[in-house]
């Protein structure tokens, strides 16, 4: 059956009155009825200065230049603005190079929907029930063809399908409302995350500045100190390492002793339980298991009585701090080293009275720092290794600074996500990174929302990237409605552009245009290759159920009928 655009008219009530009065010729639609309320003559619609007799209306001869005198025949079917000048027999216009004032032959289709049929279909011997279910376009019975009125059954089936379509649309819109609600919650979470990160970064920056100031103060203070003890030579370094290692082992021994004491307490408790068991058990009770346990305890108790712990005092001696009276006198290994300029500077403190020593020490520190900063005196050689205090202050400052960098990176990502185009109502935020696929011959095609499109061979091998998501456009679709509802139809449709896919051999980079239409569920309907490495996907989704709006423009309210 021919595929044609169907014009649906609303003013059927007015048309019914005109038909009842019997004042319009055959094939006249309701909106043109006013031009045919005639008595003796008829004025051509597009050329009112030309009048013809009423008897020439629908006489199968094209008398008006615009064909308006033949609303119910095919006499003026060849009129077209692109036709070459060619006079028709008995025609007053003398040419076919013009536009027809009428859209076609009107079929009332009572019980269904009235439509216009192209004039060339009138009396062509074919029953065009998809357009004219009442069969009135074949009134002439050409070739003996008669077209019975089937509007009742066709209208009934159409209404059933239309109701089903409306129910599907309502379910799709209901799911879309749920998706919008979820998308708003996801957006709210991103906004809350941005607010939280902003506050955290602000707080951390304050903390970082404080730690940096503290680090600088400690570093400045430490530079004024003369490092004593381990010396400055190789022996001094070795002594420092050895001293640190001994202290580390002493601390570990101390921990082990604590664990030992804890285990001793547990053993004593268990021994008490077993001793009570031995004393209170009935030896006359003939239980071999109990007797065996008692004998084992007696053997254990006998062995414990023989062992002695004589090394406790030695261990306690090892745990004592090193000094000149016991352990290692570390100062003996560094006292003989050559004095540095710093040592000379500080040695004068030894000759000062005690009450002045602290005051002079602070002043000498400040003097030394000034001399070092101005290049007059070399820094203390032993200060090449930072003190633990300086290291701890620096590490604390750097840890906070690193945390700020990580949170700032996260904040930038969240802000970029918030600025991204997710369509009207942020609807595609709900679908982000979810995927739909379809089997198509030897390939499986996949669409991942706002991510990528891909082609996978069923015979094995890798996946071919067909494009990465770039942006959303609006385009006009001009396709016939499908009976199953899985089609784009006519009107404005959202088109998601997926660009810069895998490079084609001897061709461009692959790209995919994803056309969206309203559907209850996300479903990939069809995939076609429009040209080399340029693909078209037709996809159903509730996200496309609302009226399409140009990106960046506000949605306009629909007019009420």
Tell me the per-residue pLDDT of 464-477, one tens digit each, with 9 for 90 and over: 999 999 999 999 98
Question: For residue 95, is pLDDT > 70?
Answer: no
Report which secondary-structure segment, H or E, holds 518: strand 511-518
The last residue of a domain, from among 119, 148, 177: 148
- Give the pLDDT confidence score for residue 199 in this predicted structure: 94
The last residue of a domain, from among 97, 123, 148: 148
- Give the pLDDT confidence score for residue 392 in this predicted structure: 83
Residue 236, Cβ neighbours under 10 Å: how many?
19
Question: What CATH number is given to the structural domain containing 448?
Answer: 2.70.130.10
- Give the pLDDT confidence score for residue 485 in this predicted structure: 79
Question: For residue 228, is pLDDT > 70?
Answer: no
378 falls within a domain: no
Average pLDDT taken over every residue of the chain: 78
475 falls within a domain: yes
> Encoding tokens for residue 297?
């305890």
Question: For residue 208, is pLDDT > 70?
Answer: yes
Q: Which residues of 518-552 are buried (b: 16+ CB within 10 A; e: fewer)?
A: bbbebebbebeeeeebbbbbbbbbbbbbbebeeee
Residue 472, Cβ neighbours under 10 Å: how many?
20
- The residues, ordered by sequence, that sit 6+ positions from 426 with a Cβ below 8 Å of its Cβ are 180, 183, 184, 186, 187
Per-residue pLDDT of 67-84, as tens digits, reads 899 999 998 888 776 665
252 falls within a domain: no
> Which residue range forms the structural domain that includes residue 511?
431-544
364 vs 308, 379, 438, CA distance in Å?
59, 14, 83
Domain count, the chain: 2
Choose among 449, 226, 252: nearest CA to 348: 226
Tell me the backbone φ, ψ of residue 250, rounded to 5 degrees.
-65, -40
Tell me the backbone φ, ψ of residue 362, rounded to 5 degrees.
-65, -40
Identify the bridge partners of residue 538 per DSSP, sorted by sequence position: 515, 526
For 339, half-sphere exposure in the C-beta direction (CA atoms, 13 angstrom radius) is 7
342 falls within a domain: no
Report which secondary-structure segment, H or E, holds 364: helix 354-373
Per-residue pLDDT of 300-340, as tens digits, reads 777 776 655 556 666 666 666 666 555 566 665 555 444 45
- Give the pLDDT confidence score for residue 484 in this predicted structure: 77
The CA distance from 70 to 85, in Å, is 19
253 falls within a domain: no
The last residue of a domain, from among 127, 148, 169: 148
Report which secondary-structure segment, H or E, holds 355: helix 354-373
108 falls within a domain: yes
Confidence tier at 268 by pLDDT (50, 70, 90): confident
- Give the pLDDT confidence score for residue 538 in this predicted structure: 94
Question: For residue 152, is pLDDT > 80?
Answer: yes
144 vs 2, 138, 140, CA distance in Å?
21, 10, 9
Question: For residue 109, is pLDDT > 90?
Answer: yes
């Amino acid at each position: 059956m021919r595929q044609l655009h169907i014009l649906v008219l609303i003013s059927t009530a007015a048309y019914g009155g005109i038909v009842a009065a019997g004042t319009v010729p055959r094939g006249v639609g309701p909106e043109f009825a006013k031009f045919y309320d005639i008595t003796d003559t008829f004025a051509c619609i597009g050329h009112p200065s030309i009048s013809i007799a009423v008897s020439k209306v629908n006489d199968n001869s094209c008398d008006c230049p615009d064909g308006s005198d033949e609303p119910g025949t095919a006499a003026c079917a060849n009129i077209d603005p692109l036709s070459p000048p060619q006079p028709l027999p008995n025609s007053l216009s003398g040419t076919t190079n013009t536009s027809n004032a009428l859209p076609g032959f009107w079929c009332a289709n009572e019980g269904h929907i009235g439509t216009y049929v192209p004039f060339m279909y009138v009396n062509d011997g074919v029953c065009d029930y998809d357009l004219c279910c009442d069969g009135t376009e074949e009134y002439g019975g050409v070739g003996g063809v008669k077209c019975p009125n089937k509007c009742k059954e066709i209208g009934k089936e159409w209404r059933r399908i239309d109701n089903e379509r409306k129910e599907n649309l309502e379910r799709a819109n209901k799911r879309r409302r749920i998706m919008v609600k979820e998308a708003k919650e996801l957006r709210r979470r991103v906004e809350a995350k941005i607010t939280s990160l902003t506050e955290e970064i602000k707080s951390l920056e304050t903390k970082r500045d404080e730690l940096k100031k503290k680090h600088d103060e400690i570093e400045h203070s430490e530079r004024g100190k003369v490092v004593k003890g381990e010396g400055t030579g190789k022996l001094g370094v070795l002594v420092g390492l050895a001293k640190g290692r001994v202290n580390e082992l002493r601390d570990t021994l101390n921990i082990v002793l604590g664990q030992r004491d804890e285990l001793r307490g547990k053993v004593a408790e268990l021994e008490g339980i077993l001793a009570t068991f031995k004393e209170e058990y009935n030896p006359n009770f003939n239980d071999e298991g109990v007797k065996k346990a008692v004998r084992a305890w007696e053997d254990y108790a006998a062995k414990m009585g023989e062992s002695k712990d004589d090394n406790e005092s030695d261990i306690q001696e090892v745990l004592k701090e090193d000094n000149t009276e016991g352990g290692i006198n570390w100062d003996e290994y560094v006292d003989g080293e050559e004095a540095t300029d710093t040592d000379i500077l500080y040695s004068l403190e030894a000759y000062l009275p005690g009450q002045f020593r602290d005051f002079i020490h602070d002043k000498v520190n400040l003097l030394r720092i000034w001399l070092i900063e101005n290049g007059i005196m070399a820094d203390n050689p032993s200060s090449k290794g930072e003190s633990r205090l300086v290291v701890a202050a620096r590490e604390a400052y750097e840890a906070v600074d690193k945390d700020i960098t990580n949170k700032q990176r996260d904040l930038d990502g969240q802000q970029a996500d918030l600025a991204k185009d997710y369509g009207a109502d942020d609807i595609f935020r709900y679908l982000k990174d979810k995927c739909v696929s379809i089997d198509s011959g030897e390939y499986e095609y996949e669409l991942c929302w706002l991510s990528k499109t891909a082609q996978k061979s069923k015979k094995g091998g890798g996946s071919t990237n067909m494009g990465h998501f770039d942006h959303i456009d609006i385009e006009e679709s001009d396709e016939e409605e499908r009976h199953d509802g899985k089609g784009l139809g006519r009107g404005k449709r959202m088109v998601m552009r997926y660009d810069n896919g895998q490079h084609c051999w001897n061709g461009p980079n692959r790209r995919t245009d994803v056309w969206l239409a309203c559907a209850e569920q996300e479903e990939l309907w069809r995939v076609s290759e429009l040209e080399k490495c340029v693909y078209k996907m037709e996809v159903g989704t509730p996200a496309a159920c609302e009226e399409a709006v140009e990106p960046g423009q506000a949605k306009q309210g629909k007019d009420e009928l």
